[in-house]
Structure 1
Amino acid sequence: MELKGKTILITGGASGIGLEAAKQFLEIGAKVIITGRNQVKLDAAKKQFPALITVKSDVSVAEDAALLFNKVLEIGGIDILYNNAGVGVPAINLGVPNEKHFENAVYEMEVNYLGVIRLNNLFLEMLTSRKEGVIINTTSILSYVPSLLEATYSASKTALAFYTKSLREHLRIINSKVKIFELLPPVVDTEMTVSRTDKKMTT
C-alpha cells in the first residue's frame, strides 16, 4: 500500500505508540489526524509536529465519536483508521469484593474494546469508499498470555483481538476492499507501563 498522500486517523495519538506512529506516517508523506482526551498533550504534539491535525476526543463517549466523524468529513475523510487508544488501570485484588474493581473493568472495556467498535461502525462506510481502506487495531500480547496483575486489561484486549479476527473474516466474506490489521506491540515504555519492571522498548 502506498502511504504517501493517504489520510490517517490515529486515536490515542498524543503520546507513546500513537505519537511515534504519527511521526513516522508524516515522514512518509501522509496526512495525519490524532485524537486524545488531554488537550495539553495534543498541544504538545502539535508543537513538536506542526503538520499534525489534532482533535480532542474520547473514544468511550458516543457524542465525542460523532463529533470526530463530522470533523473528519470536513477535512475530507480518511483512508486509514488506526485504533490505538487504550487504558490500563492499576491492579486491584480480584479475590476481594470491590466496587472500584468493577468500575475500572468497565472503563477499560469502554475504551479498549467498545470504543473501537464504535469508531469502526462510524467510519467503515467511508473506508469502503476509498481505493485502499484500512483499519488497524492495537491489541496486546496479553491477549495471548494474560497478566495476573492486569486481568481486566488483558480481557479487554482479548475481546479486541477476537473481534479483529472476526471482522477481517466478515469483510472477506462480503468481498469488502477494507483491510484489517492487528498490531501486537511489545511492552513499550509509556505512561501506562511506568510501574512495570519488564524490559521495555522506547518510542
Structure 2
Amino acid sequence: MKTTENTILITGGGSGIGLAFAKKLAQEGNQIILVGRTESKLIKASTQIPNAQYIVADLTKDSDVEALTTKVKSDFPTLNLLINNAGTAYAYSLLHENSKAVDKASIEFETNFLSVIRLTEALLPVLEQNTNAAIVNVSSLVSFIPSVSLPTYSASKAALHSYTQVLRAELKNQGIQVYEVMPPLVNTELSHEIGGADNGIPPEVVAEDLLKALTEEQFEVRVGLTNSLYQLYLQSPEQAFSALNSSL
C-alpha cells in the first residue's frame, strides 16, 4: 500500500511500539492520531512527532469508543489506516494459589482482543469510504506458541490472531488490507516485568518491519525471533513450544 499521505490512528500511541510506529510513519509524511488512556503520555508523545494530534480514550469503554468515533468522523474523515496496538499483559503461573487467573484474563482479553473488535467495527465505515485503506493488528509471537509465563496473555493474542485472519478474508473484496504484526519480546514499559528491559528488541525494529511490510504488502509480519520460531513451529509445534519456554 502507499505509505505516504495517509491519515493514521494508532492505539497505545503514547509509548512503546505505538510511539515507534508513530515516529516512523510521521517521517513518511503521514498525519498521525495518537490514542491512549493517559493524557500526559499522549502530550509528551505528540510533541515528538510532526503533524500529530491525540485523542484520550479508554477503548474498553463503549462510551469512549463512541466519542472517539464521532470525533474521527468529524475531524479526521480521511482516516485510512487503523493500527490496533494497545495491549496489556500479566506474567504469572497458573498454579500459584493467588494467581487470580480469571481476573487477569478478563483484563487481558478486554484490552487485547475485545477492544480491537470494538474499535475496528466502529471505524470500519470511515475506512470503507477512503482509498488505500488498511488495518494493522499487533499480536505477538505467543499468538501461535504460548508462553508458560504469560498464560492468558498468550490466549488473548491467539484469539486476536484468529480474528485477524477472518477479518482479512472478509475485507479482501472491500478493498481494505489487513496486516498482523507479531513481535517477540520488545523493550517497552509493558514488558519490563517479563524481562523486556534486558532481552527485548528495540521497538524501532518493529516499526521498521511494519513499514517494509506495508510497502511490500506482506500481511503477516513476523519480526526477528518470531520468524525463526515460526519456521520451527511449522516443522514441530512441540519443539517450538519447548524452544520458547526452555529458559522460563
Higher helix share: 2
User: By how many angstroms is 1:157 displaced?
Assistant: 0.2
Does residue 1:2 correspond to 2:2, yes or no? Answer: yes
Which residue of structure 2 lines up, in the alignment, with residue 29 of structure 1?
A: 29
Tell me the SS of whatever aligns to 1:35.
Answer: strand
Which residue of structure 2 lines up, in the alignment, with residue 106 of structure 1?
A: 106
1:84-141 deviations in Å (ceiling 9; x for gaps): 00001232x3134658321111010001000000011111121111112100000100
List aligned pairs for 1:119-198, cutoff 5 A: 119-172=119-172, 175-197=173-195
1:49-97 deviations in Å (ceiling 9; x for gaps): 2521111111111111111111111213210010000001232x31346
Which residue of structure 1 lines up, in the alignment, with residue 68 of structure 2?
A: 68
Which residue of structure 1 lines up, in the alignment, with residue 91 of structure 2?
A: 90
Question: 2:139 touches 2:161 (CA, 8 Å); kept in 1?
Answer: yes
1:9-66 deviations in Å (ceiling 9; x for gaps): 0000000010010001111000000111111111111222252111111111111111
Which residue of structure 2 lines up, in the alignment, with residue 79 of structure 1?
A: 80
Name the CA distance, whole Å, in 2 between partners of 1:76 and 1:10: 13
Tell me the SS of whatever aligns to 1:69.
Answer: helix
| More divergent stretch after superposition (178-187 vs 7-16) | 178-187
Which residue of structure 1 lines up, in the alignment, with residue 221 of structure 2?
A: none
In structure 1, the gaps of 5 or more residues are none
Count of aligned positions? 200
Which residue of structure 1 lines up, in the alignment, with residue 235 of structure 2?
A: none
Q: Percent identity?
A: 38
Which residue of structure 2 lines up, in the alignment, with residue 39 of structure 1?
A: 39
| More divergent stretch after superposition (25-34 vs 42-51) | 42-51
The letter for the 2-side match of 1:194 is H
In structure 2, the gaps of 5 or more residues are 204-248
RMSD, matched Cα: 1.5
